[in-house]
């Protein structure tokens, strides 16, 4: 039988048959086709072997320390903490400068000051929304008592 005669019998349909995902009518149609078609029967055997190999393959589960998102050694921990310290110092410094500029030059608020305030407000709102979500989720989190 040539590929043209197969019609809708492709790997996806045969795979669906092997997984038991077809309707009874489609499954019967595929079963009858597989009885008569050596090429599709070979494809079904290959897919069966592949499914069996996939289902019996064992995977090594990584230890908990590999899942941890915190830095693993002293150098990366120092870099991580110093980076956060610099970011916080930058935000506080910019905020203090903008407040100082606003009070010293109140009659002519500069465009840069408004942009700076908007940027700080945006960061603050993003952090506030994340904090609110964390607090709300903490109450109903079913995994909060799970220890690694």
* Residue 45 within a domain: yes
91 or 29: which carries more pLDDT confidence? 29
Element (H, E) at 139: helix 111-140
Q: Is residue 95 part of a domain?
A: yes
Determine, yes or no, domain membership for 116: yes
Residue 66 in domain: no
pTM: 0.39
List phi, psi (to 5°) of 62.
Answer: -65, 150
Residues 6 or more apart whose CB falls under 8 angstroms from that of 117 comprise: 98
Confidence of residue 60 (pLDDT cuts 50, 70, 90): confident
Gap between the Cα atoms of 23 and 17, Å rounded: 9
- Angle, CA 79 vertex, CA 73 and CA 82 arms, to 5°: 135
Tens of pLDDT, residues 61-90: 777 666 666 656 677 677 777 877 887 888
Decide if 63 is inside a domain. Answer: no
Q: What is the count of structural domains for the chain?
A: 2
Q: Is residue 134 exposed (0-12), middle (13-18) or buried (19+ Cβ within 10 Å)?
A: exposed
Domain span at 28:
3-56
Average pLDDT, the chain: 77
């Amino acid at each position: 039988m040539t590929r043209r005669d197969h019609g809708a019998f492709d790997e996806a349909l045969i795979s669906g048959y092997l997984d038991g995902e077809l309707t009874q009518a489609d499954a019967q149609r595929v079963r009858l086709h597989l009885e008569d078609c050596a090429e599709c029967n070979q494809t079904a055997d290959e897919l069966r072997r592949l499914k069996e190999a996939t289902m019996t393959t064992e995977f090594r589960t990584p230890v908990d320390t590999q899942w941890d998102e915190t830095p693993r050694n002293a150098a990366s921990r120092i870099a991580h903490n110093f980076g956060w310290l610099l970011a916080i110092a930058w935000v506080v410094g910019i905020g203090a400068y903008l407040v100082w500029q606003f009070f010293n030059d109140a009659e002519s608020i500069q465009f840069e000051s408004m942009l700076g305030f908007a940027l700080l407000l945006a960061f603050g709102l993003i952090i506030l929304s994340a904090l609110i979500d964390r607090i709300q989720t903490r109450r109903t989190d079913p995994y909060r008592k799970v220890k690694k």
